[in-house]
Amino acid sequence: MSIETVDSIGYVVALEGTKIRVNLLEGHKGQLASHRRGVSSVSQPGDLIGLDAGTNLVVARVTDMAFVDPDKAHTSNVGTMNVTDTPLRQLIAYSIGYVYQDGASRKFISESWKLPTLGAKAIPLSSDYLETIYGVNEDEKESTIELGRDSRTKTTKINVGLNSLLSRHLAVLGSTGYGKSNFNALLSQRIREKFKSSRLVIFDINGEYADAFIGQARVKETILGSVPIPSPDIFDGRHPVYHRIPYQAFGYAGLIKLLRPSDKTQLPALRNALKSLHMVCAGNNGTILTGETIPPSTTQNWFELVDDCRQDGQEQLSKWLMKLRSNSLGHFPTWPPFKALANLVAEFGCQAFMPNGTSKRDAFSYGNVLPLVKIIQQLVDDPRFNNVVNLSGGQAINNPTAMWGEEIEKEVDYIFGKKSGEVQDWDVHIINLKNIADDHSPMILGSLLEMYADVLFKRGQDKNYPTMLLLEEAHHYLRDPFSEESAQLKAYERLAKEGRKFNCSLLVSTQRPSELSSTVLAMCSNWISLRLTNERDINALRHAIENGNEHTLSEISGLPRGDAIGFGSAFNIPIRFSIDEAKPKPKSSDAAFASIWS
């Protein structure tokens, strides 16, 4: 559609920086303007209009509309002295870019410095111009994902380039019930449809995403907890695999972060305990033992490790702890139970030396490590923790020097997928987290991300398969529950900062951005915001985005269900659009109170 063939709706009367004032023609009094391709909305806040600038068409976003006294503006009879008493209607708009002709195609440049001349005519924008403005870069034409249609006309498809959307991380924000889960499911489905070799890992807090993939191959659902059940080749949503995380998969550093010992007394005891785990085993009646065979005897010498500072057998304590510290005992073939940590911490922490050179179990020293011993025992006795984390031990120890790394690698391969070049039996892995208690979420899920980050960065850039990690309800675990005690860099923050270099893309979905790690939110270069009403949440978004557009932010609190505003590096300009419906839908609908209660 040529500019010359479109009827003008008004003309430019003032330029104030990027602020443009447009007087509407007397014949145009409605909200819509017609053209060859239909009608376009032109006078509502948020509408886009075109302004003739010679070889370019300046695009401006309407922010205000008002009556202006005729003695302060041009009348419809330009060039005469005739001034009527009828006030003129005036639009206030801001330049957001321009469209130019590049051979047979049009291109849009998102720069606000180009302005029209005084008197330039204003025109409505047809769908072909809107497709250019909302479109993607030429090099991503073949790798686009359709998200929905523009909210105003419902005629223009909103597409984004996959690389631009995922390479810099994506945040999906919105209050509960406004369509976050539908958008996440839709995006995942359309990525799978178009990119057959994609790999998606979904942290599903409420167990709602399995329904969105029913009938598809190479989809796997794992419920953290309970007993494993074989799953069919075609995903039906009814045969999940049950999995418990082996406690040793948290790793040496991960277990220290999980148990959070005090620095002076508890941390040294815990470090010695972790370094000695491969040299202890479970005995009868829940005892924890260490032992050795001294040639030529073939009989094993045993020593019981206790967690209660009893006086029995303390004469031999110093000798055995010295052997454990020096790593001079042989390793057992399997991992001991998690409770062995409590016994080792108690023994290393309560040891006190006598004047004659022997040692004993000292009650005062034991009191320093007792809080840590109780934490370990509470986790062992907590059925919610025990249901998700396998505390029994029993897995094989092949090489004591590499035992921690091997366990972490195996768990990362299972949860997040194997490295490039290795056979993988799924493309979508739904991690159902419904069994994890809220107070355990930051610990357990933070530790899972810690494992992933550790392996991701060790593998290097070339060995990591490109993976999108969808973190649903991320405010539950992308935060540090002990933030007031620690300023250390969290694994998820390192993933947000450096993960893109190692082929990891984060999709962070939350209804409370104000409770999310500010570092993670700031590292997202693309945002899809559904309705947010809490002022703290809107402020968190305002501080995170590079260029806070107040008009865009003011719209967020009034968005209807299913509408969103997309902005960031994947979008030429902030776009309000209606999200398509995912088919099949995730299990995230509202309760039908009226029909059920009738």
pLDDT in tens, 194-219: 999 999 999 999 999 999 999 899 99
State mean pLDDT over 289-306: 80
Q: How far apart are CA 532 and CA 561, in angstroms?
A: 11
pLDDT of residue 480: 52
For residue 228, pLDDT over 70 is answered with no
- Residue 531's pLDDT band, with cuts at 50, 70 and 90, is very high
For residue 162, pLDDT over 90 is answered with yes
Q: Which amino acid is at 130?
A: L
For residue 486, pLDDT over 50 is answered with no
Q: pLDDT for 437-483, tens place per residue?
A: 888 888 888 889 888 999 999 998 889 999 999 999 998 888 754 55
State mean pLDDT over 253-265: 88
Q: Is 286 left (phi over 0), alpha (psi -120 to 50) or beta?
A: left
pLDDT of residue 297: 59
State mean pLDDT over 358-376: 90
pLDDT of residue 186: 96
CATH-assigned architecture of domain 182-244+421-597: 3-Layer(aba) Sandwich (3.40)
Quick one: which H or E segment has residue 256? helix 251-259
Contact between 62 and 49 (Cβ < 8 Å): yes
Q: How far apart are CA 387 and CA 384, in angstroms?
A: 5
Cα distances (Å, whole numbers) of residue 457 to 125, 268, 297, 447, 491: 48, 28, 47, 15, 11
pLDDT of residue 3: 61
**Who contacts 580 (Cβ-Cβ below 8 Å, separation ≥6)?**
146, 147, 148, 149, 186
For residue 542, pLDDT over 90 is answered with no
Neighbours of 66 (CB within 10 A): 11
Burial class (CB within 10 angstroms; exposed 0-12, middle 13-18, buried 19+) of 119: exposed
SS3 1: coil
Q: pLDDT for 66-108, tens place per residue?
A: 888 765 555 555 544 454 556 788 899 999 899 998 887 888 9
pLDDT of residue 545: 66
For residue 342, pLDDT over 60 is answered with yes
**Does residue 139 or residue 84 have the better pLDDT?**
139
Q: How far apart are CA 292 and CA 285, in angstroms?
A: 20
Q: pLDDT for 266-275, tens place per residue?
A: 999 999 999 9
- Residue 128's pLDDT band, with cuts at 50, 70 and 90, is confident
Among 106-110, 160-164, 313-317, name the one with the lowest average pLDDT.
Answer: 313-317
Q: pLDDT for 9-56, tens place per residue?
A: 889 999 988 899 999 887 776 666 666 666 777 778 888 899 998 889
Q: Tokens for 15?
A: 């330029």
State mean pLDDT over 363-380: 94
- Residue 553's pLDDT band, with cuts at 50, 70 and 90, is confident
For residue 1, pLDDT over 50 is answered with no
Q: pLDDT for 174-185, tens place per residue?
A: 999 899 999 999
Cite the beta strand spans of 397-549 per DSSP E.
428-432, 467-471, 504-510, 526-529
State mean pLDDT over 350-379: 87
Contact between 110 and 96 (Cβ < 8 Å): yes
- Go through 180-190 and write b for each residue having 16 or more CB atoms within 10 A of its CB, e for each that does not: bbbbbbbbbbb
Tell me the pTM: 0.85
Among 88-92, 140-144, 233-237, name the one with the lowest average pLDDT.
Answer: 233-237
Q: pLDDT for 458-467, tens place per residue?
A: 998 889 999 9
pLDDT of residue 203: 95
State mean pLDDT over 557-578: 90
Q: Is 583 left (phi over 0), alpha (psi -120 to 50) or beta?
A: beta
**Who contacts 65 (Cβ-Cβ below 8 Å, separation ≥6)?**
43, 44, 45, 89, 90, 91, 92
For the chain, where do the domains classified as CATH 3.40.50.300 start and end?
Answer: 182-244+421-597
Could you tell me the maximum CA-CA distance found in the chain, to the nearest angstrom? 121
For residue 241, pLDDT over 90 is answered with no
pLDDT of residue 446: 84
Contact between 367 and 429 (Cβ < 8 Å): no
Neighbours of 44 (CB within 10 A): 11
Q: Tokens for 26?
A: 């007397």
Q: Tokens for 304?
A: 């019981």
Q: How far apart are CA 87 and CA 135, in angstroms?
A: 38
Among 281-290, 362-371, 442-451, 489-498, name the one with the lowest average pLDDT.
Answer: 489-498
Q: pLDDT for 389-401, tens place per residue?
A: 999 999 999 999 8
For residue 249, pLDDT over 50 is answered with yes
